[in-house]
Amino acid sequence: MPTDPSIDTSAACQMAMASLERLRGAMSTLLRDEAEEQPARDDNWVTAIPDRIVLDVRSGRDIPISHPSPNAQLFVTEGAVRGLVRAAGDTVDNLIVGRCRLDGELTVLGAPITVTVDARACKGENIPPFADKLRDTLVGALRTHTELAIAGIDVIIRDIYLTKPEHGEEEATP
Amino acid sequence: MTDAAELAGNLEVIVRSVAGVTALYPTTPIVVTIVGSVVDALTQREKAPKLVAVTTGKASLSVTARIGVADAASSTGVCRRVHDTIAANPAILALAPINTISVTVASIG
């Protein structure tokens, strides 16, 4: 397929591509393991993720970055921050981040912001510490890249569909 | 004296050289870019999306850039460095007083 400069030079398209590549990588291993163990079922949630990615990579609001010069107008887009949240969340093992929402007056420096993240976790994870680990990861990424005043990060585990290989059982088998 | 178009080209090279900058994106919206690409294809014009915009007013100029930032860097720090690099450019200072320098981080990682 020939290259398309309008895609290659679009931040939104590049973020969507990166998200889809991470999703494909995760799904190719995790879903294969699950498919071998589970009967056929409705996979609409899988097809919904790319739809959410397309929505989330839109630039959205401009989030200000402070600078002492009165001539400076510095911003990070809401879409870039949502992409950051998803990419950081996907670094947590056995978890796929779906929807991400930023609530609050994003365009006002210092205004309290709440981050809401939908995620899918592997069966067998202890959800509360798992959510805390995701929160810590997201706080670190947001503090590195933004000046957002994070009032809270709500983690919603929507599904527990993905199945890890039961290595413990394999090792226990003589 | 450098004109605005030449300055925009020079600034593109300068912004790309700032540590932590991974990409430069067109300052025009994606729809405008796509329409422009179609027109360029139909008219067989050379494709050259504007990556750093320099606009001159009555007695001042404005610079606009949209950048991608490496995940390992800090978007706030890189964004400020890009601003400071543009603001300190001698060619800009020689052309006209600066009205605004707008830098937007459009992607991270």
Question: What residue of A is the nearest CA neighbor of B22?
Answer: A11
Residue B24 phi, psi (nearest 5) = -125, 135
Tens-level pLDDT at each residue, chain B (109 residues): 468 888 899 999 999 999 999 999 988 755 555 555 555 556 655 555 678 999 988 778 999 999 999 999 999 999 999 999 999 999 888 888 999 999 999 999 8
Domain count, chain A: 1
Residue B66 in tokens: 């949209």
Per-residue pLDDT, averaged over A21-37, amounts to: 66
Q: In terms of residues, how long is chain B?
A: 109
Strand stretches in A26-110, DSSP E: 62-65, 72-77, 95-103
Residue to mutate among A10, A62, A91, A138, with most B CBs inside 10 A, is A10
- Cβ separation of B109 and A87 shorter than 8 Å? yes
Question: DSSP assignment, residue B46?
Answer: P
Q: A interface mutation test: which of B39, B100, B105 has the most A CBs within 10 A? A: B105
- Domain with A46 in it: what CATH number? 3.30.70.1350
For tokens 């093992």, the residue is: A93
The CATH number of whichever domain residue B58 belongs to comes to 3.30.70.1350
Phi-psi region at B75: left, alpha or beta (left = phi > 0; alpha = psi -120 to 50): alpha
Cβ contact (<8 Å) for B106 and A65?
Answer: no
For residue B99, give its domain range.
4-108
Percentage of chain A surpassing pLDDT 70? 73
Q: Say what the pLDDT of residue A174 is.
A: 35
As a whole number of angstroms, the distance between CA A78 and CA B64 comes to 18
Calculate helix-pair angle for A44-56, A11-37, nearest 10 degrees.
Answer: 170
Domain total of chain B: 1
* ipTM confidence score: 0.85
Could you say which of B25, B51, B83 has the minimum Cβ distance to residue A74? Answer: B83
The pLDDT score that the predictor gives to residue A109 is 94
Residue B26 touches chain A, beta carbons under 8 Å? yes
Distance CA B68, CA B107 (A): 5
Any idea which residue has 């915009």 for tokens? Answer: B53
Residue A63 dihedral angles phi and psi, to the nearest 5°: -95, 120
Residues with Cβ within 8 Å of residue B32, at least 6 apart in sequence: none
pLDDT for residue A84: 94
The model's pLDDT over A82-127, given as tens digits with 9 standing for 90+, comes to 999 999 998 988 888 888 999 999 999 999 999 999 988 888 778 8
